[in-house]
């Protein structure tokens, strides 16, 4: 497996890895595209075009994003149809971020797939766990979704919540750490 496959699989990637320079080049490309994205005004179509370059795959014409948007990598983010991302969001996607159809992301949401080992001598290195936000989920303003979390279909994550574990379908969670509030009225 190459370094991208190993990273996506959750392997601890050491800065001393002989393939790390390849990864560093991908970070530089991602940061350049983010600078282009946030550097000036863009139409919705131009934003989608830059996101397509960032992810390496076409972004559906129904996807909308309000800038600014932040990421370092970008290649492991996947957008479904009719996704909306509000301004000021940060996606750290080295482990993979999947936004299914009709996902609604509030402003200043952080979706994080990366973590560091607790051992001090390894802490500068990274391992990853994917994040999946299922169809029609709504992530409230300023929420933080941590590595390995799946947010269920139709679920709502309250503003400012820190989501540390999976959220079932059709529920509202809120708080730090996010806890079950109630079922959604369907």
| Cα–Cα distance measured from residue 139 to residue 103, given in angstroms and rounded to the nearest whole number | 8
| Cα–Cα distance measured from residue 163 to residue 172, given in angstroms and rounded to the nearest whole number | 12
| Cα–Cα distance measured from residue 62 to residue 81, given in angstroms and rounded to the nearest whole number | 6
42, 116, 121, 124: which is the annotated catalytic residue? 116
Q: By three-state DSSP, how is residue 81 classified?
A: coil
Neighbours of 24 (CB within 10 A): 11
> Residues 152, 153, 154, CA angle at the centre, nearest 5°?
115
| Cα–Cα distance measured from residue 75 to residue 18, given in angstroms and rounded to the nearest whole number | 21
Number of H helices, E strands in the chain: 3, 18
121 is catalytic: no
Q: Residues with catalytic annotation? A: 116
């Amino acid at each position: 497996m190459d370094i991208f496959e190993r990273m996506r699989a959750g392997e601890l990637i050491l800065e001393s890895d002989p393939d790390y320079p390849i990864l560093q080049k991908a970070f530089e490309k991602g940061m350049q595209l983010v600078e282009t994205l946030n550097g000036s005004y863009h139409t919705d179509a131009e934003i989608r075009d830059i996101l397509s370059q960032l992810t390496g795959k076409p972004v559906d014409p129904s996807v909308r994003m309000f800038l600014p948007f932040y990421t370092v990598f970008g290649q492991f983010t996947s957008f479904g149809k009719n996704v909306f991302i509000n301004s000021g969001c940060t996606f750290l996607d080295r482990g993979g971020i999947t936004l299914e159809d009709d996902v609604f992301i509030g402003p200043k949401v952080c979706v994080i797939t990366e973590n560091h080992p607790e051992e001090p001598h390894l802490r500068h290195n990274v391992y990853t766990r994917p994040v999946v936000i299922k169809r029609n989920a709504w992530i409230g303003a300023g929420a933080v979704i941590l590595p390995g979390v799946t947010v269920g279909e139709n679920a709502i994550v309250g503003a400012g919540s820190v989501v540390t574990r999976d959220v079932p379908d059709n529920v509202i969670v809120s708080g730090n750490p996010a806890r079950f509030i109630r079922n959604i009225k369907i």
